[in-house]
C-alpha cells in the first residue's frame, strides 16, 4: 500500500509541475529563484535523468517499463516501511518520465521529457528525476543499516544460538522443555519399579513359615479351625479330660 500511495502521489505531482512548467516557462528566459544558485528554465530532454544518454530514448523507455514491472512484482514481498518508500519513489519517478516518453513529441517511446529545475553547476532535472535519486539514496542508507526487504536486520548481530538446530542454541520453550525433561526422567523409574514389586512376594510367603512351624508336629492348622483361633484341639493330649465323656477318667 505504501508503494502504491507513494508512487501515485509522485506521479501526480510530476505531471502537474510539468504542465505548469510548459505553460509558464515556454518562450521565456530563466526565472531566478535563488540568485546564483537556483532558477527555472524549460528544456526538452531526449535522454535519461539529468539529460544523460540523449540518443537512447527508445532503449530508456523500454528499460523504464522493465523497471516498473520488476518493482511491482518485488513490492509484494516487502515488509519494511523504508524499502516501501524506496520502491514507491522508483516507480513514481520511472512512470513520471515514461509518461512523457509515450505521450509527448516526437512520438510514442521517443517523446522528450520536460525538465525545468536548474541548480547551477548541475544538469537540469524534474520532480521524477529527484524521486529516483532520493529513492536510490534511501536504498543505500537502508543497506548500510543492514535492513532487509522484510524489515529484518542483516548485520549478523544475532547470536548463533538464536537459530534452532545450531550448536549453542537455547533450550526449547518452557512448556516443551519441562515436558521433555519430565518425560525423559519419568521413564526409567517406572521400569525399575517393577523388580521391587516382584521381590516383595517372597517375604510375604516366608512370613507364613513361623505360623506353620509353631504347630506341634509341624502340622498345619486348617483355616477357620480352633487351632488357628488359639482354642485347644479335641485330640490334644495336653487337654484335661472331660468327666462327662466316656473314658475320661
At 10, give phi and psi (nearest 5°): -65, -40
Residue 156's pLDDT is 53
115 is a catalytic site residue: yes
Q: Among residues 14, 100, 129, 236, which one is catalytic? A: 129
Q: Among residues 14, 39, 100, 115, which one is catalytic? A: 115
Quickly count: other Cβ atoms within 10 Å of residue 124's Cβ.
19
What DSSP element (H or E) covers 33?
Answer: strand 31-34
Could you tell me where the DSSP H helices lie in 76-118?
81-103
pLDDT tens string 125-166: 999 999 999 999 999 999 999 999 888 887 554 444 444 444
pLDDT tens string 29-67: 999 999 999 999 999 987 665 555 555 677 778 888 888
Q: If you write DSSP's letter for every residue of 162-212 in order, what string do you get?
A: GSTTSTTPPPPPHHHHHHHHHHHHHHHHHHHTHHHHHHTHHHHHHTTHHHH
pLDDT tens string 193-246: 444 444 444 444 444 444 444 444 444 444 444 444 445 555 555 555 554 554
235 is a catalytic site residue: no
Taking alpha carbons only, the member of 174, 117, 153, 2 closest to residue 71 is: 2
Residue bearing the bigger pLDDT, 72 or 39: 39
Quickly count: other Cβ atoms within 10 Å of residue 113's Cβ.
26
Cell numbers placing 80: 519494511
Residue 100's pLDDT is 92
Residue bearing the bigger pLDDT, 243 or 26: 26
Amino acid at each position: 500500500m505504501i508503494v502504491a500511495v507513494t508512487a501515485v502521489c509522485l506521479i501526480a505531482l510530476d505531471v502537474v509541475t510539468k504542465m505548469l512548467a510548459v505553460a509558464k516557462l515556454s518562450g521565456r528566459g530563466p526565472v531566478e529563484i535563488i540568485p546564483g544558485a537556483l532558477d527555472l528554465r524549460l528544456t526538452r530532454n531526449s535522454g535519461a535523468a539529468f539529460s544523460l544518454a540523449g540518443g537512447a530514448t527508445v532503449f530508456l523507455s523500454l528499460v523504464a517499463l522493465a523497471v516498473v514491472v520488476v518493482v511491482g512484482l518485488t513490492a509484494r514481498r516487502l515488509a519494511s516501511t523504508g524499502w516501501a518508500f524506496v520502491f514507491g519513489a522508483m516507480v513514481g519517478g520511472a512512470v513520471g518520465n515514461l509518461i512523457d516518453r509515450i505521450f509527448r513529441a516526437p512520438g510514442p517511446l521517443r517523446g522528450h521529457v520536460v525538465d525545468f529545475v536548474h541548480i547551477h553547476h548541475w544538469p537540469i532535472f524534474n520532480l521524477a528525476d529527484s524521486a529516483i535519486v532520493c529513492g536510490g539514496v534511501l536504498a543505500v542508507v537502508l543497506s548500510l543499516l543492514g535492513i532487509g526487504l522484510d524489515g529484518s536486520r542483516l548485520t549478523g548481530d544475532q547470536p548463533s544460538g538464536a537459530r534452532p538446530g545450531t550448536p549453542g542454541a537455547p533450550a526449547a520453550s518452557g512448556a516443551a522443555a519441562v515436558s521433555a525433561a519430565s518425560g525423559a526422567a519419568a521413564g526409567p523409574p517406572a521400569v525399575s519399579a517393577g523388580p521391587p514389586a516382584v521381590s516383595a512376594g517372597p517375604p510375604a510367603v516366608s512370613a507364613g513359615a513361623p505360623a506353620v512351624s509353631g504347630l506341634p508336629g509341624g502340622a498345619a492348622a486348617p483355616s477357620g479351625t480352633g487351632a488357628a483361633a488359639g482354642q485347644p484341639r479335641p485330640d490334644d493330649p495336653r487337654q484335661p479330660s472331660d468327666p462327662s465323656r466316656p473314658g475320661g477318667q
